[in-house]
């Protein structure tokens, strides 16, 4: 008779997560040491784990935890058909960031996704290869380019860090990345396309629909959701 909630294990995301739990009457004391266990008061039968934000999205997908607090960007990137496989219980009002399509400022002719579609469409004829997009958001990028905008001719270059540096490094032409203030993009002489916001993300409390729950646990899960107004 326990349900599990995973929250980010470090930094501001962890502090803010602890704060919203506290507002909901759940006091979680995380050990100051590098322990991933916590002590929970104010909600019997709730176990709170500390995990990395991306791991939380994977565990939600796999049904290895009942609830998780993580970024919507990671939820939508990690979980196929995220609307079905993971319910967003509440948007928590912190961790705001946008997943955006950004191109070099020097591309003065490209202001919209339509422009980018034109450029991508003739890229091979001009350069002997497809337009390259550096990103760690494979799923979001494909959905936005292929399904929303009908752009098929591009290649994704996997980027595991410093995506914004890919155009200058010559490893990609443009990027899809997360940005909160836009200052990193500006510093790298990149601009966001007018209709290039793929997702306005923030930290969310999400429930795993893949998780099998006994009746007792299902009641606990409903009670936790209710604390967050859902």
Partner 1 sequence: MGEALDALFAARGAKASQVPIILPAEPYLDTAGEALRRRIFLTRGEGGQNLCLRPDFTVPVCMRHIAEGADLPRRYSYRGLVFRQRAGGPAEFFQAGIEDLGEENRATSDARSLADALASLAACGVDPAGLDVILGDQGLFEAVLRALGLPEGWQRRLIRTFGHDGQLRAALARLAEGPEDALSGIEPQLVDLARDREEGALTRLVRDLMEEAGLPPHSGRSPGEIANRLIEKVQVAEARLGEGALELLQNFLALECPLDEAGDRLAAVTGTAGLDLGRAMTAFMTRNLALEAANVDLAGITYRAAFGRPIDYYTGLVFEVRETGAEEPLAGGGRYDRLMTILGAPAPIPAVGFSLWLDRIEAMARSTGKPA
Interface residue list for partner 1 (CB under 8 A): 104-109, 111-112, 114-115, 117-119, 121-122, 124, 126-127, 130, 138-139, 141-142, 145-147, 149-150, 152-156, 167-168, 170, 173, 188-190, 194
Query: Shortest approach of partner 1 to residue 93 CB, angstroms?
Result: 30
Write the secondary structure of the chain as one string of H (helix), E (strand) and C (coil): CCEEEEEECCHHHHHHHHHHHHHCCCEEEECCCCCCCEEEECCCCEEEEEECHHHHHHHHHHCCCCEEEEEHHHHHHHCCCHHHHEEEEEECCCCCEEEEEEEECCCCCCCCHHHHHHHHHCHHHHHCCCEEEEECCHHHHHHHHHHHCCCCCEEEEECCCCHHHHHHHCCCCEEEEEECCCHHHHHCCEEEEEEEEEEEECEEEEEECCCCCCHHHHHHHHHHHHHCCC
**Cβ–Cβ under 8 Å, residues 161 and 193:** no
Output 65 or 74, the one with its CB closest to partner 1. 74
Output 54 or 112, the one with its CB closest to partner 1. 112
Query: Shortest approach of partner 1 to residue 135 CB, angstroms?
Result: 11
Query: Shortest approach of partner 1 to residue 5 CB, angstroms?
Result: 30
Output 87 or 104, the one with its CB closest to partner 1. 104
Output 54 or 186, the one with its CB closest to partner 1. 186
Cα 36–Cα 42–Cα 46 angle in degrees, nearest 5: 50
Output 62 or 195, the one with its CB closest to partner 1. 195
Query: Shortest approach of partner 1 to residue 103 CB, angstroms?
Result: 10
Output 27 or 197, the one with its CB closest to partner 1. 197
Query: Shortest approach of partner 1 to residue 101 CB, angstroms?
Result: 13
Query: Shortest approach of partner 1 to residue 200 CB, angstroms?
Result: 19
């Amino acid at each position: 008779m326990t349900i599990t909630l995973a929250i980010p294990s470090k930094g501001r995301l962890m502090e803010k997560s602890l704060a919203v739990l506290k507002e909901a009457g759940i006091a979680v004391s995380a050990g100051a040491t590098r322990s991933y266990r916590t002590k929970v008061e104010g909600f019997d039968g709730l176990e709170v784990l500390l995990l990395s934000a991306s791991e939380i999205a994977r565990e939600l997908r796999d049904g290895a935890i009942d609830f998780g607090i993580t970024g919507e960007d990671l939820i939508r990137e990690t979980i196929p058909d995220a609307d079905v496989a993971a319910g967003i219980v509440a948007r928590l009002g912190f961790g705001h960031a946008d997943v955006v399509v950004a191109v070099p400022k020097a591309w003065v002719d490209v202001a919209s996704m339509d422009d980018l579609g034109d450029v991508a469409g003739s890229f091979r004829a001009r350069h002997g290869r497809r337009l390259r997009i550096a990103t760690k958001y494979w799923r979001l990028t494909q959905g936005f380019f292929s399904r929303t905008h009908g752009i098929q001719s591009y290649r994704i270059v996997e980027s595991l860090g410093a995506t914004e540096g890919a155009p200058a490094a010559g490893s990609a032409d443009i990027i899809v990345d997360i940005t909160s203030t836009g200052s990193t993009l500006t510093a790298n002489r990149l601009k966001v396309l007018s209709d290039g916001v793929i997702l306005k993300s923030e930290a969310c409390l999400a429930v795993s629909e893949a998780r099998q729950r006994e009746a007792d646990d299902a009641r606990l899960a409903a009670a936790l959701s209710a604390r967050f107004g859902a």
